[in-house]
Amino acid sequence: MQEIRQSSKLQYVRYDVRGPVMEEAQRMEEAGQRILKLNIGNPAPFGFDAPDSILMDIIRHLPQAQGYSDSKGIYSARTAVSQYYESRGIMDISVNDVFIGNGVSEMISMVLQALVDNGDEILIPAPDYPLWTGATTLAGGTAVHYLCDENNDWNPDLEDIESKISPRTKAIVLINPNNPTGAVYSRATLEGFVDVARRHNLVLMADEIYEKVLYDGARHINAAALSDDVLTLTFSGLSKAYRVAGFRSGWVAVSGPKHRARNFLEGLTLLANMRMCANVPAQHAIQTALGGYQSINDLVLPGGRLREQRDVAYRMLNEIPGVSVNQAKGALYLFPRLDPEVYNIQDDENFALQLLKEQRILVSHGRAFNWVNPDHFRLVTLPSVEVLTEAVGRIGEFLDDVREK
């Protein structure tokens, strides 16, 4: 009998952060081995519980959350998102400009499906959060990667962006604070993005899911606050700052010249309608999350767990010969570099696999983030100081062996 095969649409779609290395880790765990997992930015399993107010909100509203909601989301949640952005200086996001989804992930895919024609190009950072590349490819588009410069605090290279614009370019994606690099962009950098989008009539897509996960006094500026003449789609949600990734709650908010985007927005509404609505119980938490006490601050300020863990991992990684890493100003990750003159890694996925097999440490290889060379890996800074100390210590031992070979 003929084999049942996946659709050809998936031929070039990749999502290697959950690829063979993670599958091997699962097999090893099933065989009884203890794996230190530093691969997924999922706060709750690391003891970062959600604020009680959010859990109570969901529990109390559960009886009223049994039916479908409006396909864009419940009114109180969309009002809260609209008012939140108003407080951040974005005055033109009304209740009707907010689409609530099952996490930012769903809205990234939905927006790209609504916007991208076969052969359209989307400018995406390298390194990136790989859903952007995968979802662009699935929508029939081409992900064109622009470089972020490690020697310049992982800031985007605006000249590289400019040089990669073609008549098929439709949108430019920025991730700020950045996963995987931890960069937080200055006003001048963001104005650079806005300027490019304005001059080339591109949609600006700002993935700001880590906007409240900031260290060392870093300030986050919403890209949408910097113009009213560039169509800007701002993505954020509850997974990170409010630690409820499993509830699947995020949104996209539209600002700028919406009158020029009516047809696209109709398309987006059509797709939102087709999937009925996002998970309703989690929508009830959005108002409380955005309006209530921002408990993430207790974790990222001096003495806070997230900051302490980041500092320990940063220090220990930089102490390993041939390893260097920029300090993260935001988000939950470090993206260390393995000096090619010391390690000369040809296949970074295999590097991650060997690290897993020999030291039972699970990290993500840099090329899973569409980084250009096999010389980086990403780890999450969510594990406790004890676990991170053990894990980075064992990464050091592994690299000692590699150097000696």
Residues at the interface with ligand PLP (CB under 6 A): 41, 103-105, 129, 175, 179, 207, 209, 237, 239, 245, 250
- Cα–Cα distance between 209 and 375 in angstroms, integer? 26
- Closest to ligand PLP by CB, 114 vs 245, is 245
Structure token pair of residue 322 = 């041939």
Q: How far is the CB of 203 from ligand PLP (least distance, A)?
A: 17
Torsion of CA 261, 266, 269, 275, to 10 degrees: -130
Q: How far is the CB of 105 from ligand PLP (least distance, A)?
A: 3
Torsion of CA 196, 197, 199, 202, to 10 degrees: 140
Q: How far is the CB of 175 from ligand PLP (least distance, A)?
A: 5
- Cα–Cα distance between 26 and 190 in angstroms, integer? 40
Tell which residue, 360, 276, 230, has the closest CA to residue 99: 276
Q: How far is the CB of 108 from ligand PLP (least distance, A)?
A: 7
Q: For 31-140, where are the alpha helices, taking DSSP H only? A: 52-61, 75-87, 103-115, 131-138
- Which residue do the tokens 């008012």 mark? 83
Phi, psi of 52 (to 5 degrees): -55, -35
- Closest to ligand PLP by CB, 58 vs 345, is 58
- Closest to ligand PLP by CB, 245 vs 363, is 245
- Closest to ligand PLP by CB, 116 vs 238, is 238
- Closest to ligand PLP by CB, 16 vs 398, is 16
Contacts of 196 (CB under 8 A, 6+ apart): 158, 161, 162, 165, 172, 202
Q: How far is the CB of 106 from ligand PLP (least distance, A)?
A: 7
The span from the first CA to the last CA of the chain, in angstroms, equals 49
The residue at minimum Cβ distance from ligand PLP is: 103
- Closest to ligand PLP by CB, 153 vs 162, is 153
- Cα–Cα distance between 153 and 273 in angstroms, integer? 41
- Closest to ligand PLP by CB, 250 vs 374, is 250
Q: How far is the CB of 129 from ligand PLP (least distance, A)?
A: 4
- Cα–Cα distance between 288 and 242 in angstroms, integer? 10
- Closest to ligand PLP by CB, 183 vs 320, is 183
- Which residue do the tokens 């150097």 mark? 403
Contacts of 26 (CB under 8 A, 6+ apart): none
Q: How far is the CB of 250 from ligand PLP (least distance, A)?
A: 4
Contacts of 401 (CB under 8 A, 6+ apart): 358
Q: How far is the CB of 399 from ligand PLP (least distance, A)?
A: 26
